[in-house]
Chains A and B, each alone.
Chain A
Amino acid sequence: MARSMNSKKNESDTFYEAIKRFHATLEYMGLVSWSIISRSSTAIIDGVQKITETVTRNACKPFEDITHVTRTIFGKKAYVDEKIKGIEETIKRLEERLAFLEKHGVRIPEGDYQEKKQELDKERKEILSLIVEENKRLRNLLNR
């Protein structure tokens, strides 16, 4: 009795194990296939994209050139003229400024210049006092 019961149990285990392995195999095959398909599609897409872009660009170039030339001839002329006029005005202003500077010299904003009277350090004060002494001597000679 015990033997027959064991034989049934063994049979059912083998069958169950076989189904499980078959299922695992199927799953593995599916993953491998998916992997192959996805990898190859990526490679293909890149190639296709490159080819399509080049073709499109070359096909469109003549039209782009035509548009550009047309714009330059008819549309941009006024813009260029305006720019040249602007540059001419700037040059004229610069020439006037240059003539003024040649006549009057370089002028630095007065505010920064005139009002400041620096606090002098001891060393500088001493140097200045020596200059004064020398000039006093000269003045004395001059007044003699």
Chain B
Amino acid sequence: MAYTKILHVGIDLGTSRSVIAADNGVRTFVSSYVGFPKDAVSMRMFGKRDIVFGDEALRNRLALDLYRPFDKGKLKYSESLEINPKEYEKAKSIARNLLEHLVGLVTEEEPEDLIIRGVIGAPAMASIKNKKTLLTIADGVLNDSMIVSEPFAVAYGLNLYSSALIIDIGAGTVDLCRMAGTIPTEEDQITTLKAGDHIDQVFLDLIRKKHKDANFTVAMVKRFKEENAFVSAQGESVFIELPVRGKPVNHDVTEELREACRSIVPEIVEGVRKLVASFDPEFQRGLKRNVILAGGGSQIVGLQREIEKYMKKALGYGKATKVEEPLYAGANGAMKLAKDMPDEYWDQVTSRKKQKQT
């Protein structure tokens, strides 16, 4: 009897980074950029590869047609499918390329006849249309696939099924989800669009306003933000080196960075307040005690205290905790879910022809 190995993967297709965790022990991430060489010269530059991914694509963007398939937590043009059918199809195909690349990274050392079962995290309030799109993308790459809400995947990975409030701060969206011992419904989840990308834009505008002569791009300020983001009132001054008429000059951007990072806080805390206030009063205390911060945005220095401070003011009490691995929390949870899922459950949603596995 032939034995077919089953590989379980958890995937977080993010606006800025896409993360994968597999149960063969491999886990990795790539920046969600896909590039296609512009001409024969650039194709030669990339060793005749016709597609480039992640940071490599971003670094060589001048030689590439660069794409970011996801925006604000969903596939680009998925909401305007009727108006831009061609762009939508292109975005779908690019997203599939990205997913193939991700899966390829974890199956490099695996045998050919491998069954890959994957759980993909979707933004908390992703529409049915978006979830369907994700499933369509996955169908060509994974043998079996399922979609779950991203913050739910985080909660599942941490074994927090009840009395917890997950805040997953990504680049495109901030997903808030309260866990009440069951699958979260629409009332249990809130998605706000002021996330990492919003900070980049605000930061860019503020720098542009203050340092009119400086020459810079979103990618430059994004990189700087990822290394220095903070919201606390105290702290060291931060300087960014930006070219002014070709000459690198240090600019003090402490206030601008703080203001940009703070710009996402009001909507997050308002979401927390709404979710706590509309919860069963008997269990509100537990929810307030267990606010979990995940995603790249949770790395903003001082954000945890800022949220606690607001909760104390608005709700009387609040305790926020950062997850240990913010970048991998979603993918780890999704992988755990894929692994826990009994075979008979997978068989109910399989998209492949039934195979006999022993």
Residues on A facing B (Cβ under 8 Å): 104-110, 112-114, 117-118, 120, 123-125, 127-132, 134-136, 138-139, 141-142
A110 to B106, CA, bound (A): 12
What residues of A have a CB within 8 angstroms of the CB of B135 in the complex? 135, 138-139, 142
What residues of B have a CB within 8 angstroms of the CB of A114 in the complex? 23-25
Segment with Cβ contacts to A, from B243-251, B263-271, B341-349? B341-349
- Binding site secondary structure of chain B: mixed
What residues of A have a CB within 8 angstroms of the CB of B161 in the complex? 123-124, 127
What residues of A have a CB within 8 angstroms of the CB of B62 in the complex? none
Question: Is the Cβ of B25 less than 8 Å from the Cβ of A135?
Answer: no
**How many interface contacts (CB-CB < 8 Å) are there between A and B?**
81
- The 0/1 profile, CB within 8 Å of A marked 1, for residues 1-45 of chain B is 000000000000000000000011111110000000000000000
Q: In chain B between 166 and 206, which residues have their CB closer than 8 angstroms to a CB of chain A?
A: 181-183
A109 touching B132 in the complex, CB below 8 Å, given contacts A129-B345, A132-B348: no
Further contacts, 18 of them, CB under 8 A, given A104-B108, A136-B349, A139-B349: A104-B28, A105-B29, A106-B25, A106-B28, A107-B26, A110-B25, A117-B339, A118-B339, A120-B340, A123-B161, A127-B156, A127-B183, A129-B345, A131-B148, A131-B341, A135-B147, A135-B349, A138-B135
Contact of B146 with A by CB under 8 A: yes
Chain B residue with minimal CB distance to A125?
Answer: B342
Contact of B105 with A by CB under 8 A: yes
Question: Is the Cβ of A134 less than 8 Å from the Cβ of B24?
Answer: no
Residues on B facing A (Cβ under 8 Å): 23-29, 105-106, 108, 128, 131-132, 135-136, 146-148, 156, 161, 181-183, 337, 339-342, 345, 348-349, 351
Query: In the assembled complex, how far is the CB of residue B337 from the closest CB belonging to chain A, in whole angstroms?
Result: 7
Contact of B136 among A110, A130, A142 (CB under 8 A): A142
Question: Is the Cβ of A142 less than 8 Å from the Cβ of B132?
Answer: yes
Question: Is the Cβ of A132 less than 8 Å from the Cβ of B337?
Answer: no
A34 to B177, CA, bound (A): 89
Query: In the assembled complex, how far is the CB of residue B160 from the closest CB belonging to chain A, in whole angstroms?
Result: 12
A26 to B106, CA, bound (A): 100
What residues of B have a CB within 8 angstroms of the CB of A139 in the complex? 135, 349, 351
Contact of B131 among A105, A113, A125, A138 (CB under 8 A): A138
Chain A residue with minimal CB distance to B134?
Answer: A138
A125 to B349, CA, bound (A): 16
Q: Top 9 closest A-B pairs, CB basis?
A: A105-B28, A108-B25, A130-B183, A135-B146, A132-B345, A107-B25, A135-B349, A113-B25, A113-B23
Query: In the assembled complex, how far is the CB of residue A111 from the closest CB belonging to chain B, in whole angstroms?
Result: 9
A30 to B50, CA, bound (A): 110
Chain B residue with minimal CB distance to A137?
Answer: B128
A82 to B338, CA, bound (A): 51
A136 to B26, CA, bound (A): 29
What residues of A have a CB within 8 angstroms of the CB of B128 in the complex? 138, 141
Question: Is the Cβ of A128 less than 8 Å from the Cβ of B341?
Answer: yes
What residues of B have a CB within 8 angstroms of the CB of A128 in the complex? 337, 340-342, 345
Pairs A–B under 8 Å by Cβ, sample size 14: A104-B26, A105-B29, A105-B106, A106-B26, A106-B27, A110-B24, A113-B24, A124-B340, A128-B337, A128-B342, A130-B182, A130-B183, A132-B345, A138-B135
Question: Is the Cβ of B348 less than 8 Å from the Cβ of A136?
Answer: yes
Query: In the assembled complex, how far is the CB of residue B351 from the closest CB belonging to chain A, in whole angstroms?
Result: 8
Question: Is the Cβ of A127 less than 8 Å from the Cβ of B182?
Answer: yes
What residues of A have a CB within 8 angstroms of the CB of B23 in the complex? 113-114
Query: In the assembled complex, how far is the CB of residue A140 from the closest CB belonging to chain B, in whole angstroms?
Result: 10
